[in-house]
């Protein structure tokens, strides 16, 4: 691995101390009024590669017949037509259906609060099946978990990336937060490429309601005072060495942040807690943490915030029908709870939530009742500012060896690029057209730089 000094320092960031910081307090900015132009983006990453072909299914007679011809009852991953939660996009003449486990978010589509991004994926440029077969415009390491996760999180598809588009977006909007030292980025799912910027570092918080604390340093007893003095002395050592100095400064920042963050995430009086069912749903637990931080936006005082949460388990090579039933049920429930929380807090129009995943999965079933790694995939975008009730991008022709299938197994060449997806969200977030290339470096390869879903 070729680890840059900057990435090494990010591994020592504020989030690395999340399991142990409490009590020890450094001076920090005082509470501010909530910014009037507040906006937040919430990225939900579905690790493993969610099978979008069973999340969004054609529900009209001809469309379902095409689905059933490949994923019929004998496939062991079939979703019955009668079980689909049907919807008709306002910009389409076709009818589709959500997976039956997604009853919680289904009404949001009809209410115009949820949009579908159809057949999106990493692209170097607009690409046809013929170009792919000729070896043209083929992204780096297609169908690999780690590489495709990196490309979805970075928008960079021709080589390994050192920063993510969430991090670069944070770089671009950091000035909107003035001199506030609170990080633009907060991850409730550990350190990720998505939250790695060129200048911005994320705050990483526990996902299950734990504290962001370091105990035993704030008491008035001699032992607590001695511990605090020892830590202060330790942080002063070796600051003539750049790496040690940077690590110490990150530690000091984390300790300072703990004084502000810990009371927020450990609060038992939040007005939105009762909107979430977190038992057995780790995504709901993470989104509850995000909702608490948004609830405390006046205390934090930022104009722009970016959050990262995740759910794993989507690598469904077998037993997909049962696994996806549980996972999509958790995603649906957690997203609906989070939308309700933003509405209750009066910021539904200011918070946009969206999904990403490694890749789609093959339309052709695999042995064992599952599916294999593929390419283009369907995603959801949710929020009051979303132009919902519509589908953006082109739904693939569901035919093996058809015009959209590049391998004969139902691997769809994307109709929408990650760059376009990211640039559309960045535009809503306040990045001007002239600044989009800093967030999505390859956006210039696409004529349409705004998909219009928000």
Segment 32-50 mean pLDDT? 89
pLDDT tens across 334-369, in order? Answer: 999 999 999 999 999 999 999 999 999 999 999 889
**Which pLDDT value is given to residue 447?**
97
- Residue 17 pLDDT more than 60? no
CATH topology for 35-210+266-445?
Answer: Alkaline Phosphatase, subunit A (3.40.720)
Half-sphere exposure of 307 (CA within 13 A, CB side): 27
Segment 427-442 mean pLDDT? 98
Q: How confident is the model at residue 126 (pLDDT cuts 50, 70, 90)?
A: very high
The Cα–Cα gap between 213 and 330 comes to: 29
Averaged pLDDT of the chain:
89
Number of residues that this document lists for the chain: 454
pLDDT tens across 67-118, in order? Answer: 999 999 999 999 999 999 999 999 999 999 999 999 999 999 999 999 999 9
Report the sign of the C-alpha dihedral through residues 189, 192, 197, 203, in that order: positive
Which two three-digit tokens encode residue 217? Answer: 């340093």
- Residue 12 pLDDT more than 60? no
- Residue 160 pLDDT more than 60? yes
The fraction of the chain above a pLDDT of 90, given in percent, is 76
Residue 134, C-beta contacts closer than 8 angstroms, at least 6 positions apart: none
For residue 380, which phi and psi values (nearest 5 degrees)? -120, 145
């Amino acid at each position: 691995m070729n680890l840059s000094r900057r990435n090494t320092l990010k591994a020592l960031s504020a989030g690395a101390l999340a399991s142990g910081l409490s009590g020890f307090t450094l001076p920090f900015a005082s509470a501010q009024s909530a910014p009037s132009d507040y906006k937040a983006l919430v990225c939900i990453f579905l690790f493993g590669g969610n099978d979008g072909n069973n999340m969004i299914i054609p529900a009209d007679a001809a469309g379902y017949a095409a689905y059933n011809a490949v994923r019929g009852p004998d496939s062991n991953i079939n979703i019955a037509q009668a079980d689909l939660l049907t919807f008709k996009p306002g910009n389409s003449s076709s009818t589709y259906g959500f997976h039956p486990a997604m009853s919680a978010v289904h009404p949001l589509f009809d209410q115009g609060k949820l949009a579908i991004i159809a057949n999106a994926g990493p692209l170097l440029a607009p690409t046809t099946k013929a170009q792919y077969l000729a070896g043209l415009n083929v992204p780096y390491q297609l169908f690999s978990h780690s590489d495709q996760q990196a490309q979805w999180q970075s928008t960079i598809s021709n080589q390994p990336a050192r920063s993510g588009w969430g991090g670069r977006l944070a770089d671009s909007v950091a000035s909107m937060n003035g001199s506030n030292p609170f990080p633009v980025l907060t991850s409730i799912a550990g350190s990720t490429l998505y939250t790695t910027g060129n200048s911005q570092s994320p705050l990483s918080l526990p996902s299950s309601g734990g504290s962001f604390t370091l105990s035993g340093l704030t008491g008035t007893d001699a032992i607590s005072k001695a511990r605090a003095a020892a830590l202060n002395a330790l942080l002063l050592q070796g600051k003539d060495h750049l790496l040690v100095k940077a690590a110490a400064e990150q530690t000091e920042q984390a300790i300072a942040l703990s004084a502000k963050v810990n009371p927020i995430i450990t609060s038992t009086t939040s007005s939105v807690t009762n909107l979430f069912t977190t038992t057995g749903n780790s995504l709901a637990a993470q989104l509850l943490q995000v909702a608490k931080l948004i609830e405390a936006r006046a205390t934090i005082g930022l104009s722009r915030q970016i959050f990262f949460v995740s759910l794993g388990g989507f690598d469904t090579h077998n037993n997909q029908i049962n696994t996806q039933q549980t996972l999509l049920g958790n995603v649906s429930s957690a997203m609906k709870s989070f939308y309700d929380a933003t509405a209750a807090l009066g910021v539904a129009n200011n918070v946009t939530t969206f999904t990403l995943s490694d890749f789609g999965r093959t339309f052709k079933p695999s042995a064992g009742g599952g599916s294999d790694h593929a390419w283009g995939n369907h995603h959801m975008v949710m929020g009051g500012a979303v132009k919902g009730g519509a589908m953006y991008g082109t739904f693939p022709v569901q035919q093996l060896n058809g015009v959209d299938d590049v391998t004969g197994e139902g691997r769809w060449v994307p109709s929408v690029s990650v760059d376009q997806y990211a640039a559309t969200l960045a535009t809503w977030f306040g990045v001007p057209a002239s600044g989009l290339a800093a967030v999505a470096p390859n956006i210039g390869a696409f004529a349409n730089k705004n998909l219009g879903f928000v």
